[in-house]
Amino acid sequence: MDGPITQPAPAADLIGPAIRSAREAQGISLRELARRIGVSPSFVSQLERNKANASVGTLYALVEALGLSLDELMVKDSASVGDTDAAGDGSQPPSAAFVDQVRGNSQDVRIAEWPPVEAPMQPAGSRARVQFPGVLWERLTRAADPFVEFLHVEYGPGSSSCAPDNMMRHGGREYGYVISGRISVQVGFDRYELSPGDAVTFDSMTPHRLSNPFDEPCQAVWVVVGRRGDERGRGAPTPTADVTHLPSLPA
């Protein structure tokens, strides 16, 4: 990835121990986890000890291999929100039981009860986020939502979601709206260059790629609807470590 954003990830020192904890809880060895995501065991060890800086794509491959959501690794910038939630409402993501219910009833989500919205407002200074070289994701909801991923994203100059010969596909439908800068979106054989005010909509099962070949960062609002309830995505291949597309956020 060329021209990466060099600003360090907020609270990145928390991600390594979280990965190690999840791996050990599932009884997965370093070697086995490394095999699943196509990297060396020494790299996984260094990542868990915060001695290596993984790309977002590697992080995405890790959470997929561990059966986690990226939201479980997202952190709030302590410099912005202090030791407690900015709103002090103690809002929590939907329970695991609720998410299991949604998964089990994916053909008809009306069967599942919608989780309550405990805190309608998400202040700009306390968004949950993940940042690695080139790409930044910030969640625009206070808590994880099992039905939609609502994000503010930034792609730095030279960054991309995946290699040109390894385009991404998964369940759901995507909507993007560019706030500033420009971004190239390839959907199947078609390519679109989006400028401020432009929007795009596409079926996420169609192979697609986001890239920023321009000389300024692109900021956009990105929405993925129905990823977890889309049975078509169950047969999609596991992303390889160089894929840096939108993660599966709901916890």
Q: Give dist(CA 61, CA 55) in Å, integer.
A: 10
Mean pLDDT of the chain: 75
Query: pLDDT band for position 111 (50/70/90)?
Result: very low
In the DSSP assignment, the letter for residue 69 is -
Which pLDDT score is estimated for 88?
41
Query: pLDDT band for position 183 (50/70/90)?
Result: very high
Q: Give dist(CA 43, CA 246) in Å, integer.
A: 23
Asked if 23 and 209 count as a contact pair (C-beta separation under 8 A), the reply is no
Which numeric CATH code is attached to 1-251?
2.60.120.10
Report the pLDDT averaged over residues 160-171. Answer: 80
Alpha-helical runs (H) found in the chain: 15-25, 30-37, 41-48, 56-66, 78-81, 96-104
Q: Give dist(CA 75, CA 131) in Å, integer.
A: 10
Q: Give dist(CA 126, CA 161) in Å, integer.
A: 25
169 or 2: which leads in pLDDT: 169
User: In this structure, are strands 173-180 and 128-132 parallel, antiparallel, or unpaired?
Assistant: unpaired
Which pLDDT score is estimated for 101?
43
| Residue 91 confidence (pLDDT) above 60 | no
| Residue 145 confidence (pLDDT) above 70 | yes
Amino acid identity of residue 165, one-letter, is D
Report the pLDDT averaged over residues 170-184. Answer: 94
Q: What would the two tokens of residue 131 be?
A: 């940042």
């405990």: which residue's tokens? 118
Q: For 214-250, how does the pLDDT look when each residue is reduced to its tens digit (9 = 90+)?
A: 999 999 999 988 776 666 755 555 555 555 555 444 3
Q: Give dist(CA 197, CA 105) in Å, integer.
A: 37
Which pLDDT score is estimated for 197?
98
Which pLDDT score is estimated for 235?
54
Which pLDDT score is estimated for 151?
92
Nearest to 152 by CA among 172, 126, 170: 126
Q: For 18-31, how does the pLDDT look when each residue is reduced to its tens digit (9 = 90+)?
A: 889 999 999 999 99
Which pLDDT score is estimated for 83?
36
Let me know if 183 is exposed, middle or buried by CB neighbors in 10 A (0-12, 13-18, 19+).
buried
Query: pLDDT band for position 63 (50/70/90)?
Result: confident
Report the pLDDT averaged over residues 125-148. Answer: 84
Report the pLDDT averaged over residues 195-199. Answer: 99
- For the chain, what are the domain ranges? 1-251
